[in-house]
Each structure stands twice: as C-alpha cells, then as structure tokens.
Amino acid sequence: MKYVFYAIMILGIASIAFNVFKIDFSNPLVGESQIAVISIVAALCVVILMGIMLISYKIKAKAPGGN
C-alpha cells in the first residue's frame, strides 16, 4: 500500500513541475496561469496528505498490535 502512496506523491510532484512551466509570472492569476496555480496548490495538498499517510503507517507499525 505504501508503494501506491509513493506513486501518487511522484505524480503530484510531476504535476507541480509541469504546471510551473505553464505559469506566466508577470500575471499569474489570469487565464491559463490561474489554472496552473490552482493545480499546483491541489498537487501540494496531495503530496502533503500522502506524506501524512506514510507517517501514520510508520506510527501504526511501531504501535503495539500494529502490522
């Protein structure tokens, strides 16, 4: 299951990298740049959530009775 989380994190990071190149830094909140900024924020949320899930699985494994 943790490999799925790593794969989702990699896809999120790839999405961030792709969308950074689509931003017009002189006017980032207009048109296609706005969509890229929103996509970057969403991908950052995904990466953070997957990181939290990985940490929770590590805690679960160390807890008594954890798998």
Query: Domain residues of the chain, as ranges?
Result: 2-59
Task: Give pTM, 2 decimals.
Answer: 0.85
**For residue 20, what are the contacts with CB-CB under 8 A and spacing of at least 6?**
36, 40
Average pLDDT, the chain: 92
* pLDDT over 90, % of the chain: 70
Least confident of 9-13, 24-28, 33-37: 24-28
Looking at residue 65, what is its pLDDT?
A: 74
Concatenating the DSSP letter of every residue in 3-59 gives HHHHHHHHHHHHHHHHHHTT--TTSTTSTHHHHHHHHHHHHHHHHHHHHHHHHHHHH
